[in-house]
Chains A and B, each alone.
Chain A
C-alpha cells in the first residue's frame, strides 16, 4: 500500500473503481482540509459544513464512474461541494424565514456563531456582510487559490460576473473593515 501514498488522484480512482473501496479514504484525507476551508467559509458554521463535505465526498464516490479524466478530480469535487453548499444555504434561508415568523428565540440560537474561539472573528463578520454570491466568489478565489477561469467552470458563472462580485465584495469589506478599525 505504500506506493499509493504518492499516487495520483487518477491512480487512486482507478483502484477504487476496481473494487478497492478503502483507497477512497486517501482521497478524503488528501482533499478534506481544502473542502473544509471552502465549506466552513461559505456556510459560516461547522455543522452545516460537515454535512456538505460528507455529502460531497459520498456523492463524488457514487458518481465516480462518470468522473472524466480531462478535469482535475479536485475541481470536480469542488463543483459538487459548492452545489451542496448552495443547497444547504437555500435550506437554511428557508428555515430562518420560518423561524423569523414564529420563534425569534430559536432564530437567535441558529444564528449564533458555533465556534467563538475561531481565530478570525472579524473574517466571519466580514463574510456575513456579503451576499451569498459575493461570499462564494471571495471564498473560492482566496480559500482555494482558484483562477477566475477555474471558478467559472466550478460555479457555471461567467468570469466577468465573478470579477464583478469580488470587486463589490471588496467595496463592502473596505467599508466594514474601516468601521471595525474605528470601534
Chain B
C-alpha cells in the first residue's frame, strides 16, 4: 500500500462517526448542573455584558469612595519588573441583583513597560483587557476592578506579551495554560 492509499483509508475510517450513546449528553448535563451549583454561577438570563455594566454602575453609584484608600497599601519594590500586588479596597452590595462585588486594586511595578493591561475571566479575556494606568511618580501601574467573591484567573499583558510575575500564585488549568490566581472575599 502507498502512503496515499493509507492516508485515504485512515481518513475514511477515522472520520466516520461512532455511534452516539443516547444518554451521554444527559449525563454530561447532570454533572454540569451540579458543577454550576457548586460554582454559584449567576442565575439570570440577562446578557452578561449588560448585567456586568449594571452591577458596576450600581457599585460605583453606591459611593465606594474607598477607592481613594489605596494609599493604605504597602508599596512594592520599585523597579522590579513584574512585581504585582492586589488588595480589596472596598465593598459594594447590589442587593437587588443578589451580587456582591468588591473593588480590588491591582498594582503592577514595571518602570520600563509602555502598556500594561490585565485579562481574566472578569473581562472575558478580551484582547485588549483592562488597561492599567501608570503613576508618573512611582512608575506603578494600577487598575481597579469590581469582582465577585471567589477565585479569579487572570494574567497581565505587558507590551503585548502575556506575563505572570514569578511571585504570584499560579494555576495550570486542564487546557495547559498557566494563570495567576486572585482570591477575593472569604
Contact = CB atoms under 8 A, between A and B. Distances in A.
B6 A174 contact: yes
Contact of A36 (B20, B127, B174): B20
Interface residues of B, number: 52
A68 interface: yes
B93 interface: no
Nearest to A40: B18
A151 interface: no
Interface in A35-76: 36-37, 40-41, 46, 49-50, 53-54, 57-63, 65-70, 76
B14 interface: yes
Contact of B46 (A18, A60, A181): A18
A149 interface: no
A36 B18 contact: yes
Q: Give the contact-size bracket for chain A.
A: 35 or more
Interface in B63-105: none
Nearest to B39: A62
Given A21-B36, A65-B153, A66-B121, A123 B13 contact: yes
Contacts of A40: 18
A173 B5 CA distance: 11
Interface string B6-26: 110111011111101100110
Contact of B24 (A32, A142, A156): A32
Interface string A1-45: 000000000000011111111101100110011001100110000
B24 A119 contact: no
Contacts of B119: 68
11 contacts: A32-B20, A33-B17, A36-B17, A37-B18, A53-B28, A57-B32, A62-B39, A70-B125, A120-B16, A143-B14, A174-B6
A114 to B, nearest CB: 11
A21 B125 CA distance: 20
B48 A14 contact: yes
A7 B103 CA distance: 33
A12 B48 CA distance: 11
A120 B42 contact: no
Nearest to B151: A65
B136 interface: no
A120 B17 contact: no
Contacts of A33: 17-18, 20
A110 interface: no
Interface stretch (B110-118, B137-145, B175-183): B175-183
A18 B29 contact: no
Given A19-B43, A37-B14, A63 B174 contact: yes
Contacts of B16: 37, 119-120
A58 B9 CA distance: 33
A53 B179 contact: no
